[in-house]
Amino acid sequence: MHIVVCVKQVPNTTQVRINPETNTLVRDGVESILNPFDENALEMALQLKEKHPGTKVTVLTMGPPQAAEVLKEAVGRGADAVVLLCDRAFAGSDTWATSYALSTAIRKMEPADLVLFGKQAIDGDTAQVGPGVADWLGIPCVAYARKIEVADGKAVVERNFEDGYEKLDVALPCALTVLKEANVPRMASLRGKMAAKKLVIAPMTAEAVGADPAKLGLNASPTRVVKIFSPPPKTGGVKWQGEEPAVLAQRLADLLRERKLI
Amino acid sequence: MGLKIDLDLCTGCGACVAVCPFCALAQRAADGKVEVNEACTACGACLETCPVGALSMEVAEKKADAAALDAFRGLWVFAEQRGGKVQEVAYELLGEGRVLADKLGVELCAVLLGHQIGNCAATLFEHGADKVYVVDHPALEKYTAEPYSEAMSALIKKYKPEVVLAGATSMGRGFIARVAIQVNAGLTADCTELGVDVDKRLLLQTRPAFGGNIMACIVCPDHRPQMATVRPKVFKQPAPTAGRTGQLVAEKLDLKDPVVKVLETVNAMQNEVNVAGAEFIVTGGRGVGGPENFKLLAELAEALGGAAIGASRAAVDAGWISSFHQVGQTGKTVRPKIYVACGVSGQIQHLVGMNSSDTIIAINKDPDAPIFGVADVGIVGDLFQVVPELVKALKK
Amino acid sequence: MSELNYGLSELALEIRAMVREFAESRVKPVRAELDETGHFPTEILRELGKMDLMGLYIPAEYGGTFEGDSMPNLIAVEELSRICIGVSVSFAANGLGADPILIGASDEQKKKFLPPLASGEKWAAYALTEPNAGSDAGSIRTTAVKKGDKYVLNGTKQWITNGGEADIYTVFAVTDKNRGARGVSCFIVEKGTPGFKFGKKENKLGIRASATRELIFEDCEVPAANLIGREGTGFIWAMKTFDVSRPGIAAQAVGLAQGALDEAVLYAKVREQFGKPIIANQGLSWMLADMATKVETARALTYATVQSIDRGAKDYSKFSAMCKVYASDVAMQVTTDAVQVFGGYGYMKEYPVEKMMRDAKILQIYEGTNQIQRDIIGLALNKEYGAVAKK
Ligand SMILES: Cc1cc2nc3c(=O)[nH]c(=O)nc-3n(C[C@H](O)[C@H](O)[C@H](O)COP(=O)(O)OP(=O)(O)OC[C@H]3O[C@@H](n4cnc5c(N)ncnc54)[C@H](O)[C@@H]3O)c2cc1C
Ligand SMILES: Cc1cc2nc3c(=O)[nH]c(=O)nc-3n(C[C@H](O)[C@H](O)[C@H](O)COP(=O)(O)OP(=O)(O)OC[C@H]3O[C@@H](n4cnc5c(N)ncnc54)[C@H](O)[C@@H]3O)c2cc1C
């Protein structure tokens, strides 16, 4: 079996803070990490490899040269091969263009039986790339998967929905986006880390994967960011009292909506 | 294309480097001037910070065929239904969609996919739809992404809507991204605010990014339809108008057999949502008074769109709820987006487990309860009165 | 946090980061439960094995990663101990069990028994103590009688760490009753050998996650090929093992004391009485200062001992004893003081310092009580100064 895991290097958004005076992002000291949900996708692949000897796990990322770090982390945990898709031509890609670029790289590889993604990336939070890649590849995709069993060229997958879950029968090849509850990701082994340290990762260019330049990067991305702003600053705590419960409740509901908290 | 830096103007002040959310800007060792790397997403966060105007965003002008774009008209809402029941998010989208459609001067349409679900259409009309497209096909009986995207894409290609909205649910997020690829459209996830630029006929889509630390406004100038998903509960449900009707379009489509087969559906509301890692938590303390009253909190949790239930040690020790739910020193440490503490006094052992939550709401009848010291919003009042009102207000 | 530069190798620093993260994410969430239930940390050891951390002290030719630097293993023990010494002793006892093989066994024996230990597939234990032979280890009574190409073992070992959980045991038994300590031999005994049974798991004050059991030998036939070295050399292997393993106990002590110090300082900063954090009281901050100073002194002595062993020191029993006795006394004091800093809360099981204080006590007892360590140091002083006097 050949499993491709798509991962992304993301800023650790839990460390990001807003400077209350300037109301801008304080990025100092924010480290770049392997997207936490992608860890679950990788772990699912590695567990399948343990269960099905002979399985090869390839980890793919598109990003700047520094993104090689997350590939090294993946090698440390047991990935067999890595691909870094890196080219200025990809800059500014939205999910449409990103899914196209990733799909071209996957097509270049030996045929994949499974293509795994994390549920979403914590910086963009879109959850669109996994289904998008599946579409470019023309394979089925199950989003929000929490469990998989593979036998006889097909998979039985459990996927969550809002108030329950479903068991699905899926023919391979297919794509999954993997939930956090699927597993507990392993940590890298010492030998894996050593191997990763020595690893030289040669970036693959858009040309090398045969990507159509018209479908790449900012220009090929249908969506445009026209404005970036900080959410209304968090005011100090307020305490409301002495009014009717219904009035207070309404005010709170309005405030939550206004602050886009729900 | 992308971010351009005018090196003649750049003074090497570094102001832009600090604000880039993606670490895409760096100062050159030689002269301190700024360079951009591949991590740039062209988000534009840096543009305004440059005191000398050295930064600009260059976008290749596309000769998008105006006439072709003009052929797209109408605002569509994907009316998610499960088991023949239209999901609330569909009504919420119809409410907001009505406002936007009126501004754009177009029809508001709902799309219903499924098998033998015909009478769902009536409630969609009552909630504001002018037209309902129904595809009734055995391949759509159980939701799987492939036939759903196939059907939706076919409708879009045929009827050319200008805007398509779907709920950011497991279903909506799962198939709409495929549709976006199939119809070559832009898709913006998880919008929290929608508006329109009537002149340019653009949907203005605002969404949080970066763990909610920044907001981005996104448009799709050259592609139609303009597609977006919206989280449940972001918009209010409109009050239904009994008896309101519209045009029903029953569409016959030839769909491929589903490649993914649903073997089993387990409709179990996972009420044991793990508080660790939950985005929303409603916590009950001794003030909740008894195990039966946790139902009230469960209602609030549901109104918030599926929150986990937390508990103080006092509530756990009283045997009202299992220790699985305990937050604090001996319980779990949590960091949700919203933490609602009901009848919790806020002793330090409780606070250490939750005080880094993004927004803390406290409901307590004692105005001096220490929980108010960490709360962003404190309501002094009886939880048995406030919580039901809050549930009502959130459901409105 | 500021730290002294002990000139640690890149590998040692890497191991420190790895094990620190592992202990925080995998051990911390379950330590209270392991303590409460006394469950053996099987999953944790398995995972450490998968991470290649069980062979840090075993040379590469036998499947490990040891290349002359003992610090990585020592630091792994320290970092685990910072979170839970019930877990760290279960990890470290493998090294203790394997040491007689590393020190005294033939290449063939090493090739057979060390690789599965290095990979973490199998675990080891060291069996010297008996009901009537504690500090006086030379008085053991378990016998091994040669019968063809076998030795027949009879007797009972007591309080063997990893007993029942381990697969490979280094067992000390008397082959010649008339020669005292020189009649002791060391055998490698595998779990599952007929006549080799285990007693029940002991119910202990601390390190409750670790397994402490009796080993019972009833006409247990062990292949003669499993004798380490020659007959009568066992006591030498036993003592040489302690010389290299005692700094490991010191590392447990340093880690534990550091963990207690961490908890105490953090608590002292948030607990408010008389309108200010309790750390703002000089009486309390001086207590913390003394705790921190003791921890660092213990660490310095322990690291220095191990580093000189690595550099080829010949006579180091004295220093091994010194770091064991000093660091374990420090661990007892610092954990006790940490409970004091927490006041009544510290006495409650909800806060980790209660367990730390209970755990600390064992460090003054096992691998030779602290009285015995002082004996060793005293004996060495007597000998060394005697030599000087004669000159
Ligand atoms: C070692 C140790 C560890 C601990 N660990 C934890 C821990 O992990 N988690 C934890 O939570 N606690 C922990 N505690 C306990 C902690 O100190 C508090 O006792 C506990 O948090 C109190 O729970 P409470 O706030 O629900 O109850 P109380 O302190 O009794 O507060 C109840 C609150 O409800 C309010 N109230 C009552 N009726 C109503 C009403 N109708 N409407 C609105 N408000 C109402 C009251 O005004 C009061 O403020 C620990 C304590 C110790 C000693
Ligand atoms: C949890 C646990 C795990 C253990 N794990 C192992 C293991 O894996 N393998 C193994 O072989 N053993 C193990 N032991 C045994 C341990 O090494 C012995 O308990 C220790 O050596 C002390 O022996 P004792 O308990 O019989 O005490 P005793 O020797 O009876 O000593 C009792 C007291 O007398 C003092 N004393 C004795 N002799 C002298 C002296 N000459 N001068 C001054 N004071 C003296 C001691 O210091 C002590 O205070 C373990 C013990 C425990 C409790």
Taking a C-beta distance cutoff of 8 angstroms, is the pair B98, B128 a contact?
Answer: yes
Give the orientation angle of helix C234-270 with respect to helix C85-104, to 10 degrees. 160
User: In the structure, what pLDDT confidence band is assigned to residue A125 with cuts at 50, 70 and 90?
Assistant: confident
Give the orientation angle of helix C85-104 with respect to helix C71-83, to 10 degrees. 160
Distance from CA of B246 to the nearest CA of A (A): 30
Domain boundary among C167, C201, C233: C233
Contact B348 C271 (CB under 8 A): yes
β-pairing, A32-34 vs A9-11, is antiparallel
pLDDT in tens, B205-238: 998 877 677 788 999 999 999 999 998 777 888 9
Q: How far is ligand 2, taken at its centre, from the CA of residue C180, in Å?
A: 19
**Residue B205, pLDDT score:** 95
**Residue B1, pLDDT score:** 56
Predicted confidence (pLDDT) at residue B31 exceeds the cutoff of 60: yes
Mean pLDDT value of segment C306-325: 96
Distance from C-alpha of B68 to C-alpha of A170, rounded to nearest angstrom? 38
Residues in Cβ contact with A54 at an 8 Å cutoff, skipping those fewer than 6 apart: A1
Tokens of B362: 């406290």
Do C199 and C130 fall within a single domain?
yes
Phi–psi pair at C76, nearest 5 degrees: -60, -45
User: Which chains are adjacent to chain C, needing at least 3 Cβ pairs under 8 Å?
Assistant: A, B
Predicted confidence (pLDDT) at residue B380 exceeds the cutoff of 90: yes
CA B141 to each of CA A200, B145, B147: distance values in angstroms, whole numbers, following the listed order? 50, 12, 10
Residues in Cβ contact with B181 at an 8 Å cutoff, skipping those fewer than 6 apart: A96, A99, A100, A132, A135, A136
Question: What CATH number is associated with residue C117?
Answer: 1.10.540.10
Q: How far is ligand 2, taken at its centre, from the CA of residue C135, in Å?
A: 5
Task: State whether the Cα torsion B236-B241-B243-B244 is positive or negative.
Answer: negative
Do C268 and C188 fall within a single domain?
no
pTM of the complete model? 0.83
Tokens of C185: 């031999």
Taking a C-beta distance cutoff of 8 angstroms, is the pair C75, C12 a contact?
Answer: yes
Distance from CA of C33 to the nearest CA of B (A): 11
What average pLDDT does the structure give for chain B? 89
Distance from C-alpha of B52 to C-alpha of B61, rounded to nearest angstrom? 25
Domains and CATH numbers, chain A: 2-220 (3.40.50.620)
Q: How far is ligand 1, taken at its centre, from the CA of residue B70, in Å?
A: 61
C5 burial type by CB count under 10 A (0-12 exposed, 13-18 middle, 19+ buried): exposed
Predicted confidence (pLDDT) at residue C287 exceeds the cutoff of 70: yes
Q: How far is ligand 1, taken at its centre, from the CA of residue B349, in Å?
A: 9
Our answer on whether the CB atom of C349 is closer than 6 Å to any ligand 1 atom is no
Closest CA to C167 of C105, C122, C208, C112: C122
Predicted confidence (pLDDT) at residue C249 exceeds the cutoff of 90: yes
User: In the structure, what pLDDT confidence band is assigned to residue C308 with cuts at 50, 70 and 90?
Assistant: very high
Q: Which amino acid is residue C59, in one-letter code? A: P
Nearest residue on chain A to B382, alpha-carbon basis: A245
Predicted confidence (pLDDT) at residue A170 exceeds the cutoff of 60: yes
Domain boundary among C233, C263, C291: C233
Mean pLDDT value of segment B126-153: 96
Predicted confidence (pLDDT) at residue A21 exceeds the cutoff of 70: no
Taking a C-beta distance cutoff of 8 angstroms, is the pair B69, B219 a contact?
Answer: no
C103 burial type by CB count under 10 A (0-12 exposed, 13-18 middle, 19+ buried): middle
Domain boundary among C233, C256, C276: C233
Distance from C-alpha of A182 to C-alpha of A158, rounded to nearest angstrom? 10
Secondary structure (H, E, C), chain C: CCCCCCCCCHHHHHHHHHHHHHHHHHHHHHHHHHHHHCCCCHHHHHHHHHCCCCCCCCEHHHCCCECCCCHHHHHHHHHHHHHCHHHHHHHHHHHHHHHHHHHHCCHHHHHHHHHHHHCCCCCEEEECCECCECCCHHHCCCEEEEECCEEEEEEEEEEEECCCCCCEEEEEEECCHHHHHHHEEEEEEECCCCCEEECCCCCCCCCCCCCEEEEEEEEEEEEHHHEECCCCCHHHHHHHHHHHHHHHHHHHHHHHHHHHHHHHHHHHHHCEECCEEHHHCHHHHHHHHHHHHHHHHHHHHHHHHHHHHHCCCCCCHHHHHHHHHHHHHHHHHHHHHHHHHHHHHHHCCCCHHHHHHHHHHHHHCCCCCHHHHHHHHHHHHHHHHHHHHHC
Do C326 and C345 fall within a single domain?
yes
Taking a C-beta distance cutoff of 8 angstroms, is the pair B197, B115 a contact?
Answer: no
Question: What CATH number is associated with residue C192?
Answer: 2.40.110.10
Taking the alpha carbons at both ends of chain A, their separation in whole angstroms is 42
Do C85 and C135 fall within a single domain?
no
Helix (H) or strand (E) holding B389: helix B383-395
- On chain C, the residues whose CB falls within 8 A of the CB of B348 are 270-271
Do C65 and C140 fall within a single domain?
no
Do C131 and C17 fall within a single domain?
no
**Residue C63, pLDDT score:** 97
What share of chain C has pLDDT > 70, as a percent?
A: 99
What average pLDDT does the structure give for chain C? 96
Taking a C-beta distance cutoff of 8 angstroms, is the pair B9, B54 a contact?
Answer: yes
Do C266 and C378 fall within a single domain?
yes
Mean pLDDT value of segment A177-203: 94
Distance from C-alpha of A60 to C-alpha of A37, rounded to nearest angstrom? 15
Do C221 and C175 fall within a single domain?
yes
**How many residues are there in chain A?**
262
Q: How far is ligand 1, taken at its centre, from the CA of residue C24, in Å?
A: 28
- Domain count for chain C, please give it: 3
The answer to which of B138-152, B216-230, C377-391 has the lowest mean pLDDT is C377-391
Distance from C-alpha of B331 to C-alpha of B349, rounded to nearest angstrom? 9
Our answer on whether the CB atom of B314 is closer than 6 Å to any ligand 1 atom is yes
Q: What torsion, rounded to 10 degrees, do the Cα atoms A171, A164, B181, B206 define? A: -160
Do C290 and C183 fall within a single domain?
no
Contact A131 B175 (CB under 8 A): yes
Contact B174 A144 (CB under 8 A): yes
Helix (H) or strand (E) holding B388: helix B383-395
3-state class of B263 per DSSP?
strand
- On chain B, the residues whose CB falls within 8 A of the CB of C351 are 329
Contact B348 C350 (CB under 8 A): no
Predicted confidence (pLDDT) at residue B270 exceeds the cutoff of 60: no
| CA C297 to chain CA mean position, Å | 19
pLDDT in tens, C113-160: 999 999 999 999 999 999 999 999 999 999 999 999 999 999 999 999
**Residue B388, pLDDT score:** 96
Distance from C-alpha of B110 to C-alpha of B126, rounded to nearest angstrom? 12
Our answer on whether the CB atom of B293 is closer than 6 Å to any ligand 1 atom is no
Residue C390 resides in a domain: no
B256 burial type by CB count under 10 A (0-12 exposed, 13-18 middle, 19+ buried): exposed
Mean pLDDT value of segment B111-139: 93
Would an 8 Å CB–CB cutoff place C52 in contact with chain A?
Answer: yes
ipTM over 0.85 threshold? yes
Q: How far is ligand 2, taken at its centre, from the CA of residue C157, in Å?
A: 13
User: In the structure, what pLDDT confidence band is assigned to residue B3 with cuts at 50, 70 and 90?
Assistant: confident
Would an 8 Å CB–CB cutoff place C44 in contact with chain A?
Answer: no
**Residue B83, pLDDT score:** 86
**A-to-B residue pairs, Cβ atoms closer than 8 angstroms:** 323
- On chain B, the residues whose CB falls within 8 A of the CB of C271 are 348
Mutate to test the pocket of ligand 1, among B283, B312, B385 (most ligand atoms within 8 A of CB): B312
Contact A231 B212 (CB under 8 A): yes
**Residue C269, pLDDT score:** 94
Distance from CA of A222 to the nearest CA of B (A): 5
pLDDT in tens, A63-73: 988 899 999 99
**Residue A24, pLDDT score:** 62
- On chain C, the residues whose CB falls within 8 A of the CB of B349 are 350
Our answer on whether the CB atom of C298 is closer than 6 Å to any ligand 2 atom is no
Question: What CATH number is associated with residue C367?
Answer: 1.20.140.10
**What superfamily does domain B66-250 belong to in CATH?**
HUPs (3.40.50.620)
Distance from C-alpha of C39 to C-alpha of B30, rounded to nearest angstrom? 60
Distance from C-alpha of A182 to C-alpha of A41, rounded to nearest angstrom? 8
Domain B66-250 in the same topology as domain B2-58: no
Closest CA to C366 of C258, C214, C253, C260: C253
In ligand 1, the atom with minimum distance to the C-alpha of B311 is 11
Do C278 and C212 fall within a single domain?
no
**Residue B92, pLDDT score:** 92
pLDDT in tens, B160-208: 999 999 999 889 999 999 999 999 999 999 898 899 999 999 999 998 8
**Residue A43, pLDDT score:** 98
Query: Within 10 Å of residue B37's Cβ, how many Cβ atoms?
Result: 16
Predicted confidence (pLDDT) at residue B358 exceeds the cutoff of 90: no
**Residue A181, pLDDT score:** 83
pLDDT in tens, A141-157: 999 999 999 998 899 99
pLDDT in tens, C197-207: 999 999 999 99
In ligand 2, the atom with minimum distance to the C-alpha of C202 is 1
**Residue B50, pLDDT score:** 87
For chain B, the structural domain boundaries read 2-58, 66-250, 275-395
Most confident listed range (A158-172, B263-277, C120-134): C120-134
User: In the structure, what pLDDT confidence band is assigned to residue B60 with cuts at 50, 70 and 90?
Assistant: low
Do C46 and C156 fall within a single domain?
no
Residue C39 resides in a domain: yes
pLDDT in tens, A35-80: 999 999 999 999 999 999 999 999 999 998 889 999 999 999 999 9
Give residue C58's domain range.
10-123
**Residue B317, pLDDT score:** 86
Predicted confidence (pLDDT) at residue C220 exceeds the cutoff of 90: yes
Distance from C-alpha of B224 to C-alpha of B155, rounded to nearest angstrom? 13
Our answer on whether the CB atom of C133 is closer than 6 Å to any ligand 2 atom is no
Secondary structure (H, E, C), chain A: CEEEEEECEEECHHHCEEECCCCEEECCCCCEEECHHHHHHHHHHHHHHHHCCCCEEEEEEECCHHHHHHHHHHHHHCCCEEEEECCHHHCCCCHHHHHHHHHHHHHHCCCCCEEEEECCCCCCCCCCHHHHHHHHHCCCEEEEEEEEEEECCEEEEEEEECCEEEEEEEECCEEEEECHHHCCCCCCCHHHHHHHHHCCCCCECCCCCCCCHHHCHHHHCCCEEEEEECCCCCCCCEEECCCCHHHHHHHHHHHHHHCCCC
What share of chain C has pLDDT > 90, as a percent?
A: 96
Our answer on whether the CB atom of C365 is closer than 6 Å to any ligand 2 atom is yes
Taking phi over 0 as left and psi of -120 to 50 as alpha, with beta for the rest, C39 belongs to beta
C391 burial type by CB count under 10 A (0-12 exposed, 13-18 middle, 19+ buried): exposed
What does the longest C-alpha to C-alpha distance in chain B come to? 73
Taking a C-beta distance cutoff of 8 angstroms, is the pair C337, C291 a contact?
Answer: yes
Interface of C with B in 319-378 (CB under 8 A): 350-351
Mutate to test the pocket of ligand 1, among B281, B296, B349 (most ligand atoms within 8 A of CB): B349
Predicted confidence (pLDDT) at residue B6 exceeds the cutoff of 60: yes
Active site residue C202: no
Mutate to test the pocket of ligand 2, among C135, C165, C376 (most ligand atoms within 8 A of CB): C135
Architecture per CATH, domain B2-58, reads as: 2-Layer Sandwich (3.30)
Phi–psi pair at C351, nearest 5 degrees: -100, 140
Do C360 and C286 fall within a single domain?
yes
Distance from C-alpha of B273 to C-alpha of A163, rounded to nearest angstrom? 11
| CA A182 to chain CA mean position, Å | 15
Long-range Cβ pairs for the range B313-317 (8 Å, 24+): B313/B349, B313/B350, B314/B285, B314/B286, B315/B284, B315/B285, B315/B286, B315/B288
CATH number for the region B275-395 comes to: 3.40.50.1220
Task: Pick the catalytic residue from C79, C130, C165, C367.
Answer: C367
More confident residue, C130 or B61: C130
